């Protein structure tokens, strides 16, 4: 579940990164950002004709791209043609053609001499990765969703190289170049204290500590601005306030545009609303008892029955969408663009609907408002972990050229490499002014017109397994993003490192099998929320929790989670935000 949440947030955050760095007509001029300032760095680690380009200060449309490519090639090329197959153990990787067929990625292929072809599972990713291990039919590189316990199975089963081994042998300079946070994440202290994987989309310390960027986390309660204003901007600060606001909405707006109105709309078949409202009740992704120190699954949180009772009340009184648990993303977008009032989830999920709403009526888009809390404390949700990310990448022992593979990772996590692979060609796909990168207007217009076509043409961002943000991206927040969305979401994120880092056991262990069984029992949550009476709902929850406690090896699962959390606290200390 946490892997699914991580990837959902990253894919939603992709739209923020693609749109946030768009320039809206304020491109730096040649005089304000002269290409003459973008020269091979005189202070760089240069030997012979190998020079390093400093692209972190100013890059404009006159950037000497051809010279840059030649210098980068002299520095990073492995000296031979290499073809790699790179497997991504999730279904939302779309760049499955060779790098040479994408505008941005073909430059990376020319620079390194390495042409990569991405592959994805045809069916269930968990089944696919375990079939690979069972048959030892491995690609050259494997990327898993962050926190996937299959990573430890790859290591202990002898299917992958230690990155430390390859670095020492082929790229010793890489050891001092890797940001410490990436080394810490990729090091498996419970196995041998070696670095085995490298993570993508791990947020650098400067971004986390600013606590301003929505990529840290932006769960919120978004409402139609025009309707909320017409209702008198009612508060949703407490469960009673939220309930009363929804009742008021349904009374004033039984229908909208000829359709039955929807109080709360969901996302991902209801997951978004359930997750966000759960955070308001203090139901985080795992539960640790402060008094005993025992950690367990979130369903053991004493507030869980109260949370489900509230959700059941909303459902029975038709304040939740009656079809919240069956609607797909397209149906939800249609509802948001017509008849829905509130979306508890990440605020930018309403983006596609906002464009349609504002085209029909000014200021009718969704905005985040001060969130609800049922704990007596401020609303709080798990933000990005210091030891977090979206992916973990491994080099397999079936790799046909491990030297080239570790040098590809070294390039991919260099400043020029990470920008090339994830943001494109400097000067064309991205530019930089005063240390902030942005999408030039011509490129931004293509993104806005058809983001899918743009990604399929350029290959930008899909290899975010090689992304470690080296500098801020220019944001293009609207006035309402600044006035409502960001202040009513981002500040409520908390550092989730201790409660999330490696808290999921291996799926083949006794603890992992117990967790899988608990997850199947959690299907009863939907039954409890949609129950016809409060009594039936309570009975379902009570039985579900009892059955979870009686799962074989559940005590082992609790012991694992408790021990892991204790190690996390000892290792990472107090949260940093």
Per-10-residue mean pLDDT of the chain, 577 residues long, equals: 48 48 36 35 40 89 96 97 97 92 97 98 94 97 92 95 98 94 88 93 76 77 98 98 98 96 94 96 95 97 98 98 94 96 95 92 96 95 85 97 98 96 96 94 90 90 91 87 94 91 89 97 98 98 98 98 95 84
Q: Which long-range contacts (CB under 8 A, 24 or more apart) does 32-39 make?
A: 32/433, 33/58, 33/59, 33/60, 33/431, 33/432, 33/433, 33/434, 34/58, 34/60, 34/62, 35/59, 35/60, 35/62, 35/63, 35/64, 38/63, 38/64
β-pair type (259-260, 493-494): unpaired
- Which domains does the chain carry? 2-208+389-466 (3.40.190.10), 218-382+481-572 (3.40.190.10)
Structure-token pair, residue 57: 């200060």
d(Cα 89, Cα 250) in Å, to the nearest integer? 43
Contacts of 440 (CB under 8 A, 6+ apart): 23, 27, 61, 428, 429, 430, 431
> Can you give the pLDDT at residue 37?
39
Element (H, E) at 170: helix 163-170
Residue 122 DSSP code: S
d(Cα 68, Cα 51) in Å, to the nearest integer? 10
For residue 163, the number of C-alpha atoms closer than 13 Å in the C-beta half-sphere is 28
> Can you give the pLDDT at residue 449?
85
> Can you give the pLDDT at residue 24?
38
CA proximity to 485, closest of 390, 354, 324, 331: 354
> Can you give the pLDDT at residue 34?
29
**Residue 25: left if φ>0, alpha if ψ -120 to 50, beta else—which one?**
left
> Can you give the pLDDT at residue 381?
93
SS3 of residue 212 by DSSP: coil
Structure-token pair, residue 204: 């650098």
d(Cα 419, Cα 85) in Å, to the nearest integer? 22
Residue 98 DSSP code: B
Query: Residues 64, 475, 344, 12: what is their CA dihedral angle, to the nearest 10 degrees?
Result: 0
Helix axes 304-316, 534-549, angle to 10 degrees: 150
CA proximity to 285, closest of 498, 551, 72: 498
Alpha helices in 55-123 (DSSP H): 65-76, 105-112
- 528 phi and psi angles, rounded to 5 deg: -70, -40
CA proximity to 87, closest of 165, 160, 141: 141
SS3 letters for 216-240? HCCEEEEEEHHHHHHCCCCCCCCHH
Which stretches of 376-489 are assigned E, i.e. beta strand? 381-382, 391-395, 431-433, 436-438
CB of 18 within 8 A of CB of 452? no
- 182 phi and psi angles, rounded to 5 deg: -70, -35
CA 252 to chain centre: 37
């Amino acid at each position: 579940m946490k892997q699914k949440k991580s990837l959902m947030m990253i894919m939603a955050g992709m739209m923020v990164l693609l749109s946030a760095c768009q320039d809206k007509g304020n491109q730096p001029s040649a005089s304000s950002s002269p290409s003459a300032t973008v020269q091979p760095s005189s202070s760089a680690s240069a030997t012979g004709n190998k020079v390093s380009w400093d692209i972190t200060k100013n890059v404009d449309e006159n950037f000497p791209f051809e010279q840059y490519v030649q210098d980068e090639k002299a520095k990073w090329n492995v000296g031979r043609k290499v073809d790699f197959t790179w497997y991504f153990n999730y279904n939302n990787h779309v760049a499955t053609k060779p790098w040479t067929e994408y505008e941005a990625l073909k430059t990376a292929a020319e620079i390194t001499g390495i042409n990569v072809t991405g592959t994805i599972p045809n069916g269930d990713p968990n089944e696919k990765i375990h079939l690979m291990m069972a048959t030892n039919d491995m690609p050259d590189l494997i990327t898993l969703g962050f926190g996937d316990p299959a990573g430890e199975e790859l290591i202990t089963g002898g299917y992958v190289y230690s990155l430390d081994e390859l670095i020492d042998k082929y790229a010793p300079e890489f050891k001092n170049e890797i940001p410490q946070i990436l080394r810490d994440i990729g090091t498996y202290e419970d196995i041998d204290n070696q670095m085995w994987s490298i993570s993508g989309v791990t947020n650098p310390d400067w971004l986390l500590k600013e606590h301003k960027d929505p990529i840290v986390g932006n769960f919120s309660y978004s409402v139609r601005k025009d309707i909320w204003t017409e209702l008198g901007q009612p508060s949703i600060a407490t469960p009673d306030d939220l309930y009363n606001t929804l009742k008021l909405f349904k009374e004033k707006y039984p229908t909208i545009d000829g359709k039955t109105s929807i109080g709360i709309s969901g996302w991902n078949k209801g997951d978004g609303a359930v997750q966000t409202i759960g955070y308001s009740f203090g139901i985080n992704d795992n539960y640790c008892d402060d008094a005993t120190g025992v950690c367990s699954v979130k369903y053991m949180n004493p507030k869980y029955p109260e949370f489900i009772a509230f959700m059941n009340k909303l459902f029975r009184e038709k304040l939740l969408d009656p079809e919240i648990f069956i609607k797909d993303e397209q149906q939800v977008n249609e509802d948001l663009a017509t008849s829905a009032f509130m979306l508890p989830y990440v605020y930018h999920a309403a983006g596609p609907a906002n464009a349609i709403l504002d085209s029909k009526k000014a200021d009718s888009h969704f905005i985040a408002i001060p969130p609800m809390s049922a704990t007596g404390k401020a609303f709080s949700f798990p933000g990005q972990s210091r030891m977090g990310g979206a992916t973990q990448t491994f080099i397999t022992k079936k790799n046909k050229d491990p030297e080239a593979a570790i040098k590809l990772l070294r390039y991919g996590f260099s400043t020029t490499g990470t920008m090339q692979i994830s943001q494109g060609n400097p000067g064309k796909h991205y530019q930089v002014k005063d240390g902030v990168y942005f999408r030039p207007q011509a490129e931004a217009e293509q993104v806005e017109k058809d983001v899918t076509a743009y990604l399929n043409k350029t290959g930008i961002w899909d290899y975010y397994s090689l992304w470690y943000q080296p500098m801020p991206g220019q944001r293009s927040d609207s006035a309402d993003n600044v006035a409502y969305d960001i202040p009513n979401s981002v500040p409520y994120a908390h550092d989730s490192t201790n409660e999330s880092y490696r808290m999921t056991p291996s799926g083949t262990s006794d603890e992992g099998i117990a967790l899988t069984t608990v997850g199947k029992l959690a299907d009863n949550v939907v039954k409890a929320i949609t129950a016809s009476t409060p009594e039936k709902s309570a009975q379902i929850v009570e039985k579900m929790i009892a059955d979870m406690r009686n799962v074989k090896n559940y005590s082992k699962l609790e012991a694992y989670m408790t021990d892991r959390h204790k190690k996390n606290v000892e290792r990472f200390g107090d949260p940093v935000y």
